[in-house]
Chain A
Amino acid sequence: MATTATGTRSTSRKEAQVSGGPKPPGPNGRGPGENGWRQKGEGNQRRKFSPAAYRIAMWVLLAAIVMMFAALSSAYIVLSGGEEWASIAVPRMFFWSTSAIVVSSATFEVARRYLKDGRQRQYAQWLAVTLLFGLTFLVTQLMAWRELRAQGIYLASNPHSSFFYLFTGVHGAHVLGGIIALLFLVVRSRNTYELGTPRSQASASVVSLYWHVMDAVWIWLLLLLLVWR
């Protein structure tokens, strides 16, 4: 009776399973001989580097980060309905910072194209350009804070101003993480030997994925601050 209840096998194998397990398992649960263990020699090698693991992990990490920004965004939307909500003009610096991060995403893609073609020098150069634009983004965000402070708008001034600082701060911290990863890629890009390996391709591709998502998150936050007030 029990065979059909497992639900773990395809029905096409029914005949095979009714005839039952072929051999009694040994005392330790291993059958003699062909017991599902790989033969020594062919199998006794550790798993090779798997680019898929990097990619899955990055998507999973980004899902978590996006959930946190979703939480902060919903806090923004909830509080924006309150009576004490006072809208603040978006600082002009945001124009420059947004441009910087969008351009950096594009230059990152250019760099990756060179990496795929195996052109190491161009790859290293464009990575450095990307890094430069990333740093520009952070600097302009800080200048936007100064601009707000000059108008007498501080973190605790009112709910809307709190979100200006919060969004830029939390997002900036994540971009800083991306910049550290970029720095790591830039250092590695000097090493020609490394470049051909699947590992270096995978690192470049997951870092760029992270970078683009941070770019998109910033645009989303900016739209919230601009439009939803």
Chain B
Amino acid sequence: MSGETHETHGAVHRHEPPTSFIRKYIFSLDHKVIGIQYIILALVAVLVGMTMSVLMRMNLSWPGTNWPILGTLFPGGAPDGMMTPEFYLSLVTMHGTIMVFFVLTTAPQGGFGNYFLPIQIGAEDMAFPVLNMLSFWVTFVGFVVILAAIFFSGAESTVGPIGGWTGYAPLSALPNSGPGQGMGMNLWIISIAIFCVGSLLGALNFITTLLNMRAPGMSLMRMPLTCWAWFTTAVLALLSFPVLLGGGVLLLLDRTAGTSFFIPGGLYIGGELSGASANFPIHTGGSPILWQHLFWFFGHPEVYIAILPGMGATSHILSTFARKPVFGYRAMVFAIFAIGLLGFFVWGHHMFISGMSPYSAMTFSILTLSIGVPSAVKTFNWLGTLWGARIRFTTPMLFAIGFVSLFVAGGITGLVLGQSSLDLPMHDTYFVTAHFHLVMGVASIFGMFAATYFWFPKMFGRMMSERLGRIHFWITFVGVYCIFVPMHTMGIVGMPRRFAQFTEYEFLATLHPLVVFVSIAAIATVFAQILFYFNLVWSIFKGEKSGANPWEATTLEWITPSPPPHDNFAGVIPTVYRGPYEFAVPGAPNDFIMQTEPEPGTVPATEGAGNGHNGHRH
């Protein structure tokens, strides 16, 4: 099953690193290489997603302009360089799909989780390295297929399917329902199904590793909050992706085998009744709302899959640079769990306008608002961690504080939208777009920026440029607020989302300057990311050498050299004596104490402190 065939007889045997290039960097079994592969995948995918958002903004702000290069690239979607509405819709779809699946799910969990979860719990690798490798390559195939959906979407080519990242039926269930909904939509579903499988393999590995491979002394309550976040995320992925996979199978059957799981009877498309001709066979008895239930049962946990790792990284980084223990560690752990658990019971708040019974809506509404409680616990504990601290304002710290800011700013509007009476008029406006971009999109990305600047020295042995990092932070931070705060206003005025342009609507004409402003802010913010990419590549080769523990942090990844050796701790396994955030302990000579530092009076490692391991190393 995994790469441990050589240890069946219990031989004393150090795990040797592979030597060939392919086994070392491509089909690697090393969780660190796989983590970096995931991060690279996300860095590529986010470029595609950002390009699409810039194209959308261009079309919204300057409708009817000719962009000759688009005409050359997509003669079907943008004839003579003029974007068609369908082209815009497919941009919406592919931007959402690529960002949610291949950026917000891969980088925080597959990337940083893969790299740092084993190290932080003192394991030498994941429990099943082969599955880990497969999970990356399966995800990679999913990415290739989603890119294929852009280019193989049929004769009247858009740039892919137009059904939105939510793939609502019956639009998504019928090949003749619009341009791009033919082959492109099939590929979209297949890509998502492949992605589900990859995520499941990853989640399986995360859970097993965390439960079974903690170093001696690493009890659950001594784990860094990052590990709790990755673990909860893995549980969410484990329980929600199969539902999407099941729904995807049904959708694919509807499209290819003529079933009617999501297609109601008596449907008219383009003036043609269901069953009237060969390319529109008869359908009867399905329910489009069923797809919404299945999709959002996955979709809401997915939101937390995106943001929980960011929360974990933020807690970790805030504590490190505030030089204080995380305020209320236990409460933070339970808040993560509470958010994860409640996340399974609130999917209906995405469907208030689907005509659901007001009683169900009220139930979903109350459950949704109750997520505010653990979220507030987390926010106040972050503030409590910062309170009265002598903060070291490094770049990762700036991004972590930015995360808190964005999480609050985006979360507040969640309380507005969580009430069905307010959601009904606002649901299809820019208010929702602004809300979820702030709280799940940008906040998660800020968490990942913080994680990148924080752990880069560990991953590559060199520091990233602080100066570039700060410039990157301030442009991005101001930029995203300039983009998304005005969108709230647009939403309240009533600007509908997913519309390609607004020239036809007189009451929105006054908003046009704001639309242009948002676009300029978006384009500037996107270009600021060049700084980040440059910093990343430049620092790998030219950054200042970092040493093993440049941030004077306490957790296990900082006891090992940077970058860590092949099996993380050079053949030895650390023993853990204390909690993860022992900063500013009174009476201690330093303001931080490593987790591996024995407390006076504790028993030696080999006899006692086996709290979190199952004794399979004696």
- Residues of A with C-beta under 8 A to B585: 2-3, 17, 20-21
A199 within 8 A of B: yes
| Residues on the B chain within 8 Å of A9, using CB | 578-579
Judge whether A132 is part of the interface by a CB distance below 8 angstroms.
Answer: no
Cα(A64)–Cα(B290), bound, Å: 20
Partner of A48, one of B10, B212, B239, B583: B10
CB distance from B598 to the nearest CB of A (A): 6
Known contacts A46-B7, A159-B261; A20/B589 CB under 8 A: yes
Shortest Cβ distance from B328 into chain A, in angstroms?
Answer: 6
Given A24-B589, A24-B590, A79-B261, also A57-B204 (CB < 8 A)? yes
Of the A-B pairs whose beta carbons lie under 8 Å apart in the complex, a sample of 18, sorted by A's number, is: A6-B325, A6-B329, A8-B578, A21-B589, A24-B590, A35-B597, A40-B571, A45-B14, A48-B617, A49-B8, A50-B616, A60-B203, A63-B238, A63-B239, A74-B293, A79-B285, A156-B281, A197-B8
Closest approach, in angstroms, between the C-beta of B384 and any C-beta of chain A? 8
- Residues of chain B within 8 A (CB-CB) of A53 are 127-128, 208, 212-213
Q: Which of A65-73, A113-121, A123-131, A215-223 forms part of the interface with chain B? A: A65-73
The 10 nearest A-B residue pairs measured at CB: A8-B579, A36-B596, A20-B587, A84-B285, A20-B588, A156-B258, A68-B242, A71-B246, A29-B549, A28-B548
Known A2-B583, A6-B581, A67-B239: A199·B290 in contact at CB below 8 Å: no
Q: Is the CB of A21 within 8 A of B212?
A: no
Which among B258, B331, B559 has the highest number of chain A CB atoms within 10 Å? B559
**Contact call A6/B326, Cβ cutoff below 8 A:** yes
How far apart are A16's CB and chain B's nearest CB, in angstroms? 5
Q: Does the CB pair B574–A36 fall under 8 Å?
A: yes
Decide if B238 touches A38 in the complex (CB within 8 Å).
no
Known: A30-B559, A75-B250. A50 touches B7 (CB 8 A): no
A49 touches B559 (CB 8 A): no
* Bound form: Cα–Cα A19–B593 in Å: 13
Apart from A21-B599, A43-B617, A65-B242, what are 5 other A-B pairs with CB-CB below 8 Å? A13-B599, A18-B586, A20-B593, A35-B559, A75-B246
Cβ 8 A contact of A38, one of B124, B573, B582: B573
B128: which A residues are within 8 A, CB to CB?
53, 57
Q: Min CB distance, A28 to chain B, in Å? A: 4
Shortest Cβ distance from B553 into A: residue: A29
Within 8 A of A (CB), among B309-328: 324-328
Which residues of B have CB within 8 Å of A13? 599
Q: Report chain B residues within 8 Å CB of A83.
A: 285
| A-binding residues in B (CB < 8 A) | 1, 4, 7-8, 10, 12-15, 124, 127-128, 200, 203-205, 207-208, 211-213, 221-222, 238-243, 245-247, 249-250, 253, 257-261, 265, 281, 284-287, 290, 293-294, 297, 324-331, 384, 547-549, 552-553, 558-559, 561, 567, 569, 571-590, 592-602, 605-606, 614, 616-617
Report the minimal beta-carbon distance from A47 to chain B, rounded to whole angstroms: 6
Shortest CB–CB separation between residue B292 and chain A, in angstroms? 11
Q: Identify whether the interface residues of B are mostly helix, strand, loop, or mixed.
A: loop
From residue 53 to 97 of chain A, which have CB atoms closer than 8 A to chain B?
A: 53-54, 56-57, 60-61, 63-65, 67-72, 74-75, 78-79, 82-85
The answer, among A2, A46, A64, A166, for a CB contact under 8 Å with B242, is A64
Cβ of A16: which chain B residues have Cβ within 8 Å of it? Answer: 599-602
Chain B positions within 8 Å of A177 at CB level: none
Could you say which of A21, A37, A85 has the most chain B C-beta atoms within 10 Å of its C-beta?
A21
B586 pairs with A20, CB closer than 8 A: yes
A53 to B10, CA, bound (A): 16
